[in-house]
Structure 1
Amino acid sequence: MLDQILDVRFTTVTVPGYGPVTTRTYNGTIPGPTLRVRGGDVLRLTQINGLPPNPPHRGGHNTPHHANSFNLHTHGMHVSPSGHADNVLRAFAPRTAAQAAAGAAEPRYLTVVDVPVGHPAGTYWYHPHLHGSTAEQIAGGMAGVIVVEGDIDEVPEIKAAADIIVCINELKLKDGEVPAFTSGSWMTDVPSVFTVNGTVNPTITLRPGEVQRWRVVAATAFTALQLTIAHDHGHLPVLQIAQDGVAFTEPVTLTEIDLAMGNRADILVRGGEPGSYTLRATGVPGPLMTVRVTGEPLDPPMTLPTSLPPGRPFLDERDIAHPDADREVVFHADPGVFPGAFPNAFRMLGTHATPPADPDGDLTHDPAYGLFDPGYANHTLRLGTVERWTVRSDETMPAFNHPFHLHTNQLLLTHRNGRRLDPPVWHDTIGLTGGTPGRSATFLVAYEDFTGHALAHCHQLHHEDLGMMQNVTYVQDPPPAAE
């Protein structure tokens, strides 16, 4: 069992390269503590809410609210979404003003996650997921890494490499704090500050011939990352061994790693020619991290693996067992249609979209159509079945990205823009950029092991808080009727 306290309160932390910041943190650090478990372990997290009382909220449920309440999501893990486990429908509220004045103790909330035996070994992360407060909290640094240890760590070439967390946080800071999320322009009006392990542009060193394993976590709320390790003479190639916590069938050599918000990539980096390299993301000013290759070369150089233990068996279209197994999701935004500070409607349309308030009216301005409704069940998914989903964006601007994230069960990406991937790749979050046409993805998903209520949503968290989210209910598949 891993027993960990996560103390959440406003803390003034020093971000090297930026300065002092007052923000909500886990245990006073950005990111929070790294949690390491193995299949069969129990992750027991006691969370203390030391935040001040929430101010009154007079808007709808799809506007930001209750920024001092939270809960916990173990992003990407195949664990129960019910009870005290990965249940993002819980709310961990702070003391009320009256309770604080009376000297009541700060409330404690318990999360207990049973990690299944055989859970894929890899890199995951945790963050708050209370609807209405998620974006503001993650933009302040409330995120941490979960490592599930297992078979891939025993591959000799991987075991010999230093195991290094590279957690990329995207902070929204103004005058040394996170401004309250009070308008739809909040995201674009406040420039992002990117940190790696809590520092702006830290430096990591490699000896020539040394191999390091980097667990790269895109703990970003708003920005996708196209990562390269750049040098004056080109790019340093890397060997990717896992995506979103699941090992590849074999290592893949890349010069660019595409991570949507919430994605992770396990990569092996080997030091080459001595010199200074930089980890950069397309569209992000300045380097994320400096990589200095220096020192006495290793002779012989450390070796790289040529094979990996299978992270998870693939699914096949032939596993689809019922005729209504195809679902479609379309990410759609209607700009400037609502009065007030949040005029844009961020909708999830397609199969089982939330019904309009006025089916005969103007759907563009409808206040319910395709928006998150906590009382409406968008998808009922039966354990033991395999389904095929196609998700796409109808945005015309390529820069707009609506990553699709499904809780509890991982997604086997089989097609991008109608073209089959060989081999397919396991994900839990799939980035979808705009364009003419917008990007599309087709994946297979098996609903396994756990019943309960969960979510499917856009992982651009500004959009999620404003309603780009759907309810999912996992249920037992009924037994066949008696003959």
Structure 2
Amino acid sequence: MPFAGRRWLALPDHHKEAVMVIFSIARFRGVVAVAVAAGGLHAAPWAQSAGTEACPRPMPGSAVTDPPELAKAGDGAFHLTARNSGTGPEDRDAPAYAYRFCLRGNDDARLQAPVLRMSAGETVRVALSNRLQAKTGFPETHVMTAPGTSLCVPQPDGLAGGNNLTNLHYHGLNIPPRCGGDETINTVLAAPQTGGTADYTYQFTIPANEPPGLYWYHPHMHGVSQQQILGGMSGIIVIDGMEKLFPEVGHLTERILVLRDQDKPNPADREDAPQDEPWKDVSINYVPVTWNGKASAAPQPAPQLSVGAGERQFWRVANAAADTAFVLKLQYRFSSAGPWQDQPLELLAFDGVPQVDDSGMPGARSMTVTRIVLPPAGRAEFIMAGPPAGAEARLYSDDYNRYLASTNPKADATDATDRQPARVLADIHSAPAGRQKAAVPRQAAEERVKRFMNLRQSSTLRNRSFFFTKDPADEGNFFLTPEGRTPKPFDMAAPPDVTVNMPTVEDWTIENRDSESHVFHIHQIHFRVLEVNGVPTDDRAEPTLRDTIELPACRDWGSADPEALYQGDPAFVGKNCREPFRVKLRMDFREQDIAGTSLFHCHILEHQDKGMMAKMELAWNPQAAREEARILREQGSMALERSAPAIEPGAQSVVPALMRTVSRLLGERVAAVPDDAICRTATAEAADGKR
């Protein structure tokens, strides 16, 4: 026992376990004392007393364990409770970085941020209870209920928005943005002390064609999303079935790793702060990843991971950070003086969608990479191999700077703003190989991803363009603007910025005309990345089917003066950006189960909370979609395929193929409509006497 007495006995079990892990590591490395590790348990002035912490977290150097999995309760629902710490009278002067949020399964601190496992076609219920306490000094949301406001959760008129309001977003799931589903605009849970409604049960059905993969849940309360997620309020969703596409994962040990960030003391407040000191602390499954840079008087041990020597494991990694990107590498070295060597990773899925060709088949099965860039909200699933006996190994995040443009003044190495230095996310140690599972029958691999099929080959109905900018004189104003409109911060009460008549496929061009990176994310759907800065992408070389993509800063401002970036640009449309970073994305709006009012935004949540978000109405209206196509065709803004498609073998494909051919002869564009939607539409119109 590292130390004895009443102080040890009073510690929660997880603190005892963490200290024992650090003590063991210290003994293994020949370290005599663990005073640093043990000293970390001394209560800071703002810390809650042992045993009363609402959102307990492991000590530095702890073993990384998988998140707990939550079973459904007797009523068939997953039960989650929102809690926070640092809200008592003794915490009055607590800094923001000491404040924690969490979602607890069954309101049990041992089930913090539990994994929710679901299956395609399943009806899911999630019962959320809000028990957040208000915290002074934090920003308030931009939401308040006005008389007559139609909310999914009934609340009293005039309920003011505060940092103790919350809700849930089911990130990446292709479920409806309507009450009870993935609705984040009018779903507001108040804390009990406000007199509002604090309990709500979501109920939705996972689409039968939902791809297996890694998704996640987190609050989406505009104005405080960043603070709640920085505090750790997020968890993982797994849609089962990956082994049906990649049979090899069926007999591998699965590891779920969640990367998060948290506020820390601002290095800009210290004159002696080194230029590479980060502005955020990070963690892996809540184990702190301490920055051992020049400012570290006593370096802390890295989180600890165990993998069998040479053992292949299936790792599912989510970036649940609010503002931090990670550049993941698995590295080995074979002597203490030798170089660290990047190791191959078999990338199977990205952003919850398996790596498949445009027909939905796994194709080459996987792609081999040595580096995975995970922007905030990005997820990667890959097979790795444990180090050979005698080798050192680590999970590493390379250096990253949000100001990437070569001629961008803020890219200068002397500017440390939003610098994210390289860090060791975990030391990896050899251990006995995990228990092997029975292999999945080979024929299971014949299944394909049925959603997003033939997206790259689909004809497009409309091209839209949007751009990222900000008001440099007011860091509170960030903009995501449709081309041709004046930038303005997002307004929850404003009408939709975009209306999409479905079913359809659209091409969206997103430009970053700003001096820092932004991360585009769209709710309800995934998209194919067609081009990056005008260069076509290759599905075989990079993940192109995703729900989140990073756009680095403007590539050429033509000025070395940071004050001149928006000079002569009072509307903040980024006209001084000579070469914006640009992506072309093919948007899949072909499914009826996503209809409703949805959002797209920057997933650097500081930017989202400060207005970099837009609203869209997804309207299921086949007739309007066809009429819109006719008008666009007459205007000459849309090119239709002239050749009839080959009829594929199989009875189910004959009718849709024939209807597509007939539709071209009739001058209608329905090529992007899924087969079942075509049949449904034709049947309905025949019944109405329209055909």
SS at match of 2:192: coil
Distance in 1, Cα, partners of 2:500 & 2:453: 20
SS at match of 2:319: strand
Q: Map 1:69-468; keep pairs closer than 5 Å.
A: 69-89=165-185, 90-97=187-194, 99=195, 107-152=198-243, 155-173=246-264, 191-200=279-288, 201-232=302-333, 233-249=340-356, 250-274=365-389, 275-283=391-399, 284-294=421-431, 310-311=448-449, 312-316=451-455, 319-322=458-461, 325-336=462-473, 338=474, 343-351=475-483, 353=485, 356=486, 369-374=487-492, 375-396=494-515, 400-423=516-539, 425-434=544-553, 435-436=555-556, 437-447=579-589, 448-449=591-592, 450-468=594-612
Task: Using the TM superposition, give the Cα deviation of residue 31 of structure 1 relative to its aligned residue in structure 2, in angstroms.
Answer: 5.8
CA RMSD across the alignment = 3.4
SS at match of 1:349: strand
Task: Using the TM superposition, give the Cα deviation of residue 174 of structure 1 relative to its aligned residue in structure 2, in angstroms.
Answer: 5.4
Task: Using the TM superposition, give the Cα deviation of residue 11 of structure 1 relative to its aligned residue in structure 2, in angstroms.
Answer: 3.8
Alpha-carbon distance change, 57 to 445 in structure 1, aligned in 2, over 3 angstroms:
same
SS at match of 2:355: strand
Distance in 2, Cα, partners of 1:309 & 1:270: 26
Task: Using the TM superposition, give the Cα deviation of residue 308 of structure 1 relative to its aligned residue in structure 2, in angstroms.
Answer: 8.3
Structure 2: state its 5+ residue gaps. 1-71, 87-96, 145-159, 267-275, 289-301, 334-339, 357-364, 400-420, 557-578, 628-689
8 Å CA contact 2:396–2:425 kept in 1: the answer is: yes
Task: Using the TM superposition, give the Cα deviation of residue 71 of structure 1 relative to its aligned residue in structure 2, in angstroms.
Answer: 0.7
Distance in 1, Cα, partners of 2:427 & 2:520: 31
User: Which one has more relative contact order, counting CA pairs under 8 Å at least 6 apart?
Assistant: 1
Task: Using the TM superposition, give the Cα deviation of residue 467 of structure 1 relative to its aligned residue in structure 2, in angstroms.
Answer: 0.3
Residues 244-267 of structure 1: per-residue CA shift (max 9 Å, x gap): 111113211111001111010001
Alpha-carbon distance change, 321 to 190 in structure 1, aligned in 2, over 3 angstroms:
closer
Task: Using the TM superposition, give the Cα deviation of residue 51 of structure 1 relative to its aligned residue in structure 2, in angstroms.
Answer: 1.5
Alpha-carbon distance change, 269 to 345 in structure 1, aligned in 2, over 3 angstroms:
same
8 Å CA contact 1:53–1:96 kept in 2: the answer is: no
Residues 199-244 of structure 1: per-residue CA shift (max 9 Å, x gap): 1242222223311111100001111111111233411211100011
2:84 maps to a residue whose letter is: F
Alpha-carbon distance change, 75 to 308 in structure 1, aligned in 2, over 3 angstroms:
farther
Q: Map 1:11-50; keep pairs closer than 5 Å.
A: 11=85, 22-27=99-104, 28=109, 32-50=113-131
% same residue: 25
1:35 maps to a residue whose letter is: L
Q: Which residue of 2 aligns with 1:473?
A: 617
Task: Using the TM superposition, give the Cα deviation of residue 155 of structure 1 relative to its aligned residue in structure 2, in angstroms.
Answer: 3.5
8 Å CA contact 2:178–2:597 kept in 1: the answer is: yes
1:334 maps to a residue whose letter is: D
Residues 356-405 of structure 1: per-residue CA shift (max 9 Å, x gap): 5xxxxxxxxxxxx3321221311101221000001121134xxx321111
Distance in 1, Cα, partners of 2:315 & 2:496: 39
Distance in 1, Cα, partners of 2:171 & 2:286: 20
Q: Which residue of 2 aligns with 1:179?
A: none
1:192 maps to a residue whose letter is: K
8 Å CA contact 1:40–1:116 kept in 2: the answer is: yes
Structure 1: state its 5+ residue gaps. 13-19, 176-187, 357-368
Once structures 1 and 2 are overlaid, which stretch shifts more, 415-424 or 467-476? 415-424
Q: Work out the number of aligned pairs and report it.
A: 431
Distance in 2, Cα, partners of 1:297 & 1:470: 46
Residues 131-177 of structure 1: per-residue CA shift (max 9 Å, x gap): 111000000000100000015356431111111101001112459xx
Task: Using the TM superposition, give the Cα deviation of residue 52 of structure 1 relative to its aligned residue in structure 2, in angstroms.
Answer: 2.5
Alpha-carbon distance change, 225 to 30 in structure 1, aligned in 2, over 3 angstroms:
farther
SS at match of 1:288: strand
Distance in 2, Cα, partners of 1:429 & 1:58: 26
Point out the structure with the larger helix share: 2
Point out the structure with the larger strand share: 1
8 Å CA contact 1:48–1:108 kept in 2: the answer is: yes
> If the length of structure 1 is used for normalisation, what is the TM-score?
0.81
1:454 maps to a residue whose letter is: S
SS at match of 1:206: strand
2:306 maps to a residue whose letter is: T
8 Å CA contact 2:191–2:198 kept in 1: the answer is: yes
8 Å CA contact 1:225–1:259 kept in 2: the answer is: yes
Distance in 1, Cα, partners of 2:240 & 2:141: 42
Alpha-carbon distance change, 56 to 156 in structure 1, aligned in 2, over 3 angstroms:
closer
Distance in 1, Cα, partners of 2:84 & 2:256: 24
1:85 maps to a residue whose letter is: G
SS at match of 1:403: strand
Q: Which has the larger radius of gyration?
A: 2
Distance in 1, Cα, partners of 2:468 & 2:239: 32
Alpha-carbon distance change, 215 to 402 in structure 1, aligned in 2, over 3 angstroms:
same
